[in-house]
C-alpha cells in the first residue's frame, strides 16, 4: 500500500500533457530547472518569460500582433523579461496612496498637464509619496519606453540570444512548452494542485 493510499489522499485530475511536470523533483515549467517546492516557476523571470510568450501567441492568433499598440506592448513585455522580470506585487500602490497622489497632483498628468490616469513610480519600486506621480497613459508609456536600453547581437549577445529564443517560441506553429499554451490559465491550477498533493505524499 502506498503512502497516498494509506492517507486516502485523492489524486487531482491532471491534463495528460502535464504528467512530467507533477513528478518530483518538480521542474520549472519554463526552463526545466528544479524548483524546491510545488511552485510552477523557478523564478519571477521564468514566469515573466512564459507570460510574454503566451501574450505574443495570443496576439498572433487573434491577428493583432502587428497593430502599433500591441507591437509596443510586446516590446515592453520583452524588455521586462530581459531585464529580469517585472515584480507587479513590489510595484503595487495601495488604493489609499493612489487616492492621495490623484488629489495631490490635482488629477493632472505631471508631464503634459493632461488628465492623469496612472500612478507612476519616478524611480525604483518605492511607494513613498515623494517617488510617485500621476501621468496620463501616453506619457507613462513614453517614460517606460525611454527607460529601456537598446540591445543588439554585438552589444548584448546573451540577452539577444534569449530574445531570439523567446520569439521563436512565440512564433512556433505549436507551443513548445505547456506554459506557452493558450489554456495555461486553466491548466496551471491542476498542475499546482497535483504538485502539492505529490509533495505531501
Write out the three cell numbers for 22.
Answer: 507533477
Alpha carbons within 13 A on the beta-carbon side of 155? 4
Instruction: For residue 82, give the nearest of 161, 182, 178, 146 by alpha carbon.
Output: 161
Residue 10's pLDDT band (boundaries 50, 70, 90)?
very low
pLDDT at 52: 94
In this prediction, what percent of the chain has a pLDDT beyond 70?
89
pLDDT at 24: 84
Q: Of how many residues is the chain composed?
A: 201
pLDDT tens figures, 133-182:
999 999 998 888 787 778 888 998 999 999 999 999 999 999 999 999 99
Instruction: For residue 47, give the nearest of 3, 96, 81, 8 by alpha carbon.
Output: 81
Residue 126's pLDDT band (boundaries 50, 70, 90)?
confident
> What is the residue-averaged pLDDT of the chain?
86
Phi-psi region of 107 (alpha: psi -120 to 50; beta: other; left: phi over 0): left
Cis amide bond preceding 187, omega within 30: no
pLDDT tens figures, 24-47:
889 999 999 999 888 999 998 899
Phi-psi region of 84 (alpha: psi -120 to 50; beta: other; left: phi over 0): left
pLDDT at 20: 84
Domain range list for the chain: 3-83+149-171+184-200, 89-146
pLDDT tens figures, 52-70:
999 999 999 999 999 999 9
pLDDT tens figures, 99-114:
999 999 999 999 999 9
pLDDT at 2: 39
Q: pLDDT at residue 88 above 70?
A: no
Tell me how far apart the alpha carbons of residues 55 and 146 are, in angstroms, rounded to a whole number: 22
Amino acid at each position: 500500500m502506498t503512502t497516498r493510499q494509506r492517507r486516502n489522499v485523492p489524486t487531482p485530475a491532471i491534463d495528460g500533457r502535464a504528467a512530467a511536470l507533477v513528478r518530483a523533483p518538480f521542474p520549472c515549467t519554463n526552463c526545466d530547472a528544479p524548483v524546491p517546492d510545488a511552485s510552477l516557476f523557478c523564478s519571477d523571470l521564468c514566469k515573466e518569460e512564459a507570460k510574454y510568450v503566451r501574450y505574443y501567441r495570443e496576439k498572433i492568433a487573434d491577428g493583432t500582433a502587428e497593430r502599433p499598440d500591441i507591437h509596443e506592448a510586446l516590446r515592453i513585455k520583452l524588455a521586462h523579461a530581459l531585464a529580469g522580470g517585472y515584480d507587479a506585487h513590489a510595484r503595487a500602490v495601495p488604493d489609499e496612496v493612489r487616492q492621495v497622489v490623484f488629489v495631490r497632483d490635482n488629477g493632472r498628468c505631471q508631464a503634459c498637464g493632461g488628465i492623469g490616469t496612472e500612478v507612476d513610480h519616478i524611480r525604483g519600486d518605492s511607494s513613498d509619496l515623494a517617488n510617485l506621480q500621476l501621468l496620463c497613459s501616453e506619457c507613462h508609456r513614453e517614460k517606460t519606453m525611454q527607460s529601456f536600453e537598446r540591445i543588439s547581437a554585438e552589444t548584448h549577445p546573451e540577452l539577444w540570444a534569449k530574445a531570439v529564443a523567446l520569439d521563436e517560441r512565440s512564433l512556433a506553429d505549436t507551443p513548445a512548452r505547456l506554459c506557452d499554451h493558450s489554456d495555461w490559465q486553466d491548466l496551471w491550477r491542476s498542475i499546482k494542485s497535483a504538485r502539492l498533493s505529490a509533495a505531501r505524499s
